Chain A
């Protein structure tokens, strides 16, 4: 089945630094989503992307749907301590004609630690 390769696996940064993480696949995806999971909680949707090349922002977060439709990127600017958590990418792969797919494919996550 389709797999998402998310990198890096973990990051340790200083408060105020910018952060970049990405997700790649060998398959084409129709939709890319980015989630954040706070410690002890479930993942929460941050940004959704629906078109190749689309660039969407949510506060200090910016995500892009790659032109090839096989990758996506998430950037966090001027990080703060509450940015700590696990960031997941997720996507809906392109299915063949007549098929159906209501399941998201998830990356394994990027653990972000921010040092005050």
Chain B
């Protein structure tokens, strides 16, 4: 069965370190998205991609970057982790937004 997987599920890192969160989907979806979820803020869009070599900034992109070298993967990199980036991160993919997004199970990141 097709799926979307995120790794790791939990990570603790130190302030200032570079961190990469992985997202891999086997749906062959062109559209992929990264969100962070914080209490009181719901889901906030970080970056998104409509296809290979395409990346776009979302509403909270500062301090984050993504790259899309193939259809399956959209890794999210925190260039220099800050305590404000402690959050739960969700990756999602979509064939068409009308069909909704398929979400991964999330990565809980703690920056100490």
Contacts and interface: CB of A to CB of B under 8 A. Distances in A.
Contacts of A43: 43, 90, 101, 103
Interface stretch (A61-69, A77-85, A106-114): A106-114
SS of A interface (majority): loop
A109 B98 CA distance: 20
Nearest to B58: A103
A45 B48 contact: no
B100 A48 contact: yes
B106 A41 contact: yes
B101 A104 contact: yes
A52 B104 CA distance: 30
Interface in A39-92: 40-45, 48, 50, 88, 90, 92
A21 interface: no
A101 interface: yes
Contacts of B20: none
A19 to B, nearest CB: 19
A45 B92 CA distance: 12
A4 to B, nearest CB: 9
* Centre residue among A1, A33, A43, A90 by max chain B CB count within 10 A: A43
A7 interface: no
B52 interface: no
Sort chain A's interface into a size bin. Answer: 20 to 34
Interface in B1-57: 31, 33, 40-43, 45, 48, 50
B42 A33 contact: no
A40 B94 CA distance: 21
Contact of B105 (A31, A42, A45): A42
Contacts of A40: 105-106
B40 A48 contact: no
19 contacts: A31-B98, A33-B100, A40-B105, A40-B106, A41-B105, A42-B92, A42-B103, A42-B105, A44-B103, A48-B100, A92-B97, A92-B98, A102-B96, A103-B45, A103-B48, A104-B101, A106-B43, A107-B42, A109-B43
